[in-house]
């Protein structure tokens, strides 16, 4: 890994650090070290990183702003690539908007609203990056990414890049083709928005954001929704009905505000969160016969 780090530093591709603690890069504030942590300064440098990783046959993991993520206490083997400041450009062409995967979803949605472009009102309270939002088809308030995305620019492990259409992305509930069938990295996304009344758009965004603030624990370290909704049921309601709100294991606690959120109540470890997730799963299965499926992405060494 040291040889790879040295090579990447010589290539001047951006930030390169060994044994970087990932707790500082996740919204849960949990996570052990990455063998090698890289934050590329451009799309071209990201492509160079992937080509070298592919050549060296090194394991790789991609993160954005670290929401919807639970990283093991033992950290992550291989290379962790963070998509950030080098991949957050926004290019406006009428109602079509090209945005880099490292851009903040909330900031991007609000910026488009201020320009009188409608379609991203639902995203005004969704944390994380555009790349992560596209990867998992993030959604809220009755809409999701699949309703506004036109196509996505994907970088594959061997360094090849390809634009995937909305059909090729194979979106479904919190899922895309990138999660299993065609693993790849979202580097850019092209959105098709619609002209609208700026004041009305901003007002709706403010209401959506305020709703999240009053119903979800965004003032505490958390990873967003822990479970997918087992429709027609809702995960948070099942947890609340089971009397689990406020239940804790170690430093991990089920939020008093929303049953589908686990907060880091003080020096929580990944194992605390995992044990709490398993406790919720067993309880809901026993009481209601419903198998809960995690929405949060759990990664790293066992």
The answer to whether residues 97 and 205 belong to one domain is yes
**pLDDT at residue 214 tops 90:** no
Is residue 97 a part of any domain in this protein?
Answer: yes
The answer to whether residues 210 and 116 belong to one domain is yes
Q: What is the mean pLDDT of residues 218-244?
A: 94
The answer to whether residues 63 and 119 belong to one domain is no
The pLDDT tens digits for 37-96 are 999 999 999 999 988 998 999 999 999 889 889 999 999 999 999 998 889 999 999 999
Is residue 16 a part of any domain in this protein?
Answer: yes
The answer to whether residues 79 and 93 belong to one domain is no
The answer to whether residues 185 and 211 belong to one domain is yes
The pLDDT tens digits for 4-32 are 999 999 999 999 999 999 999 999 999 99
- Write down which residue in 70, 85, 100 finishes a domain: 85
The CATH number of residue 109's host domain is: 3.30.465.10
The answer to whether residues 94 and 78 belong to one domain is no
Is residue 29 a part of any domain in this protein?
Answer: yes
The pLDDT tens digits for 149-196 are 999 999 987 778 999 999 999 998 888 999 878 888 999 999 999 999
Is residue 291 a part of any domain in this protein?
Answer: yes
The answer to whether residues 67 and 99 belong to one domain is no
Domain of 81, in residue numbers? 2-85
Is residue 224 a part of any domain in this protein?
Answer: no
Residue 179 pLDDT: 85
Q: What is the mean pLDDT of residues 121-130?
A: 89
**pLDDT at residue 198 tops 90:** yes
Catalogue the active-site residues: 174, 225, 295
Is residue 102 a part of any domain in this protein?
Answer: yes
Is residue 122 a part of any domain in this protein?
Answer: yes
The answer to whether residues 202 and 274 belong to one domain is no
Closest listed residue to residue 152, CA positions, set 161, 160, 139: 161
The CATH number of residue 24's host domain is: 3.30.43.10
Please name the residues in contact with 290: beta carbons below 8 A apart, sequence gap of 6 or more.
230, 233, 238, 284
CA distance 196 to 109: 14
The answer to whether residues 69 and 100 belong to one domain is no
Q: What is the mean pLDDT of residues 252-258?
A: 96
Provide, rounded to the nearest whole percent, the portion of the chain with pLDDT above 70.
Answer: 100
Residue 212 pLDDT: 84
Q: In what order do the strands lie in the sheet with 76-82?
A: 14-21, 33-40, 76-82, 60-63
| Mean pLDDT, the chain, integer | 93
Residue 78 pLDDT: 95
> CB count, 10 Å around CB of 59?
11
CA distance 30 to 27: 8
The residue that leads in pLDDT, 30 or 125, is 30
* pTM exceeds cut of 0.85: yes
Residue 162 pLDDT: 95
What are the distances in angstroms from CA 191 to CA 38, 91, 104, 281?
A: 27, 11, 15, 37
Closest listed residue to residue 189, CA positions, set 48, 38, 87, 85: 87
Please name the residues in contact with 71: beta carbons below 8 A apart, sequence gap of 6 or more.
22, 23, 26, 30, 31, 32, 270, 299, 300
The CATH number of residue 259's host domain is: 3.90.78.10
Is residue 226 a part of any domain in this protein?
Answer: no
Residue 125 pLDDT: 83
Helix 2-11 to helix 43-56 angle (10° resolution) is: 150
Ramachandran class of 63: left when φ > 0, alpha when ψ lies in -120 to 50, beta otherwise: beta
How many structural domains does the chain have?
A: 3
The answer to whether residues 56 and 96 belong to one domain is no
């Amino acid at each position: 890994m040291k040889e790879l780090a040295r090579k990447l530093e010589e290539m001047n591709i951006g930030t390169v650090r060994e044994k970087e603690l990932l707790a500082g890069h996740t919204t849960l504030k949990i996570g052990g070290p990455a063998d090698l942590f890289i934050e590329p300064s451009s799309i071209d440098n990201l492509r160079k990183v992937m080509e070298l990783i592919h050549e060296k046959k090194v394991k790789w993991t991609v993160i954005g702003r670290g929401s919807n993520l639970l990283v093991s206490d033992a950290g992550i083997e291989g290379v962790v690539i963070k998509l950030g400041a080098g991949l957050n450009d926004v290019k406006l062409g009428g109602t079509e908007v090209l945005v880099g995967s490292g851009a903040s979803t909330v900031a991007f949605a609000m910026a488009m609203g201020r320009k009188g472009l409608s379609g991203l009102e639902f995203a005004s309270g969704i944390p994380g990056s555009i790349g992560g939002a596209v990867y998992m088809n993030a959604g809220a308030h009755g809409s999701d990414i699949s309703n506004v995305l036109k196509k996505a620019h994907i970088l594959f492990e061997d360094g090849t890049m390809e634009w995937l259409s909305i059909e090729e992305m194979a979106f479904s509930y919190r899922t895309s083709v990138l999660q299993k069938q065609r693993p790849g990295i979202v580097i850019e996304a092209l959105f098709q928005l619609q002209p609208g009344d700026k004041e009305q758009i901003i007002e709706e965004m403010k209401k959506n954001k305020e709703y999240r603030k009053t119903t979800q624990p965004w003032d505490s370290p958390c990873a967003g929704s822990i479970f997918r909704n087992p429709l027609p049921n809702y995960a948070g309601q099942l947890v609340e009905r089971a009397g689990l709100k406020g239940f804790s294991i170690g430093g991990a606690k089920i939020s008093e505000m929303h049953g589908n959120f686990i907060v880091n109540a003080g020096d929580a470890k990944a194992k605390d969160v995992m044990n709490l997730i398993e406790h919720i799963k067993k309880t809901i299965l026993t009481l209601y016969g419903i198998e809960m499926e995690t929405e949060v992405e759990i990664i790293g060494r066992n």
